[in-house]
Structure 1
Amino acid sequence: MSTATADVAVIGGSGFYSFLDGADEIHVETPYGDPSGPVTIGTVGERRVAFLPRHGVGHAFPPHRINYRANLWALRSVGVRQVLAPCAVGGLSPAVEPGELVVPDQLVDRTWGRVGSYVETGAVHLPFADPYCSRLRSRLGAEDEVTSGGTMVVVEGPRFSTRAESRHYADQGWSLINMTGAPEAALAREQRLCYAPIAVVTDMDAGVDEGSGVGQAEVFAMFGHSIERVKALLGTVLADLPDPAGCACSAWADDLELTYDVP
């Protein structure tokens, strides 16, 4: 493996398959199999940044088939300590609208078929009351075009929700729905990484109105339309991210004997 390193990473969502120009491409082997694709490492301003397309180049992996464990381990192994994670979401509440950029503060995991932890033996119980890094959320939330707060429910996919399911989620007070935010956030925390999503609202979910429901074409089109805005936001915040040293996202494991590898 190349000796190229980066201290921060961007995980690209649907349609977000490249980010860095003139970057080094690194093929990382992990104990958990292959990540979604090669890790590319380049420079944004004066910061070394890694990029990994969550679904692979060309959207090779649907949400329930992504090797989340390999992805986060690969990023940690090249030196990454902070992760910004753009993703497509549906809106469950009229309080959000298509095109909006949201940094949620809570997560509800409704996935069921995924490997959700690195822990395979022993007693290691992850504190996860606040699933996203407060330091990264504060930095992202300081940007005028970003809405801060809200709960994102993550469903198994790859199908979209029925109207009844969507209304049920909305009735709980949850504002966003997504298919990739879990177990990604928990695995990032297990790898002692600071992690925050940047949710791009691509559509209003099926339960919000009596329209035709959610379709893949509109989701991909809206996310594609928003990619340049997301890249511009990343370019701004990457220049002055908070120092991860001492953050609770890593410090939770300081006095524990972990039973899995943190490279």
Structure 2
Amino acid sequence: MSEQFATGPVGIIGGTGLTRLSGLVIEGEQQVVTNWGEPSDRLVKGRLGEQEVVFLARHGNPHRIPPHQVNYRANLQALYDAGVRTVVGVNAVGGIHRDMGPARVVIPDQLIDYTWGRASTFFEGELESTTHIDFTWPYCEDSRQLLVESARKAGVPFSDFGVYGATQGPRLETAAEIKRMERDGCDLVGMTGMPEAVLAAELGMRYSCLALVVNWAAGKTEAIITIDEIEAAIEQGMTGVKRILEQSVADLGRLGSKD
């Protein structure tokens, strides 16, 4: 595609281990308030190469907001109001699938929602009619394929499939819960994949997930999960995540909103 078809800024929602992008040339920061309250942090506006980017730290910067208390509606609304129509959610996750161990990058294609009690839709209150959206494929396939292609070009080891199981948190799961999730078909476990994905869909945004495995899920090894282990995997794997973003962001910006 030629540059004349570039649309608007690409939104990047950073999770644990990604509160800033080192290659992002910052042009300004904006504190906003939406109809759903305040987002997790200021919107950081800048450029990766020639592409306009709006970055938002999902848990705030410094990392302070637990997964179940993130104002997902305000986060997505703030990005939408800033002109973002294509979003990449970067998520730190636990690995269930045998090929998805620590420091592995995964671009999932499906998810299962185990969360509860979270504000998970924009469609509530005094509505003129009940609204339902199709959520058969929770991630935008066009965006996913751009991330897959970029990972290959960047030479980053990755998996191009995966079912993301979203749990409530903030505690980690029991071994029995992970066994149940594995029986359900989950390859990954995380705490922030929902309702982020469905809220983006309700707004008509293209949403994809770029997941970094930071530990084996509970019971997949004999070891106890430690913060040191997680931090080591983040340090090892986040470079690959950033390389994929840098490789893909210009093409993501040309996608625009969903039809």
Q: Mind listing any 5+ residue stretches in structure 1 that lack a counterpart?
A: 252-263
Quick one: percent identity of the two aligned structures? 38
- Whether the 8 Å CA contact 1:101–1:198 is kept in 2: the answer is yes
Inter-partner Cα distance in structure 1 for 2:39 and 2:250: 27
The Cα of 1:227 is off from its aligned counterpart by 2.2
Tell me, in whole angstroms, the C-alpha distance in 1 between the residues paired with 2:35 and 2:146: 33
- Relative distance call for 1:63 and 1:217 in structure 2 (3 A) is farther
Give the counterpart letter for 2:16 in structure 1: S
* Aligned counterparts, 1:111-260, within 5 A: 111-120=115-124, 121=127, 122-142=129-149, 143-144=151-152, 145=156, 146-212=158-224, 214-241=225-252, 243-245=254-256, 250-251=258-259
SS in 2 for 1:182: coil
Greater RCO between the two (CA within 8 Å, min separation 6)? 2
- Mapped contact 1:135–1:242 kept (Cα < 8 A): no
Question: Which residue number corresponds to residue 12 of structure 1?
Answer: 14
Q: Distance in 1 between matches of 2:25 and 2:107?
A: 26
Shift of 1:6: 4.9
68-77 vs 166-175, which moves further = 166-175
Is contact 1:6–1:41 with CA below 8 Å preserved after alignment? no
Partner in structure 2 of residue 258 of structure 1: none
Distance in 1 between residues matched to 2:80 and 2:194, nearest whole Å: 18
Distance 1:97 1:115 in 2: 31
Does 2:80 correspond to 1:76? yes
Aligned residue for 1:177, secondary structure, equals strand
Q: Which runs of 4+ in 1 moved over 6 A?
A: none
Deviations 1:177-201 (A, max 9, x none): 0000000000011111101010101
Structure 2 stretches of 5 or more lacking a match? 1-6
Residue aligning to 2:112:
108
CA contact (8 A) 1:151 1:176 kept: yes
**Residue 8 of structure 2 contacts residue 253 of structure 2 at CA under 8 Å; is this kept in 1?**
no
**After alignment, is 37-46 or 12-21 more displaced?**
12-21
In the other structure, the counterpart of 2:62 is 58
Shift of 1:147: 1.5
* 166-175 or 192-201, larger mean C-alpha shift: 166-175
Q: Does 1:85 align with 2:96?
A: no
Count the aligned residue pairs.
Answer: 243
What value does the CA root-mean-square deviation take over the aligned residues? Answer: 1.6
How many Å separate the matches in 2 of 1:221 and 1:67? 28
Alignment map for 1:21-40 (pairs within 5 Å): 21-40=25-44
| Maintained 8 Å contact 2:178/2:219 | yes
Q: TM-score, normalised by structure 1?
A: 0.88
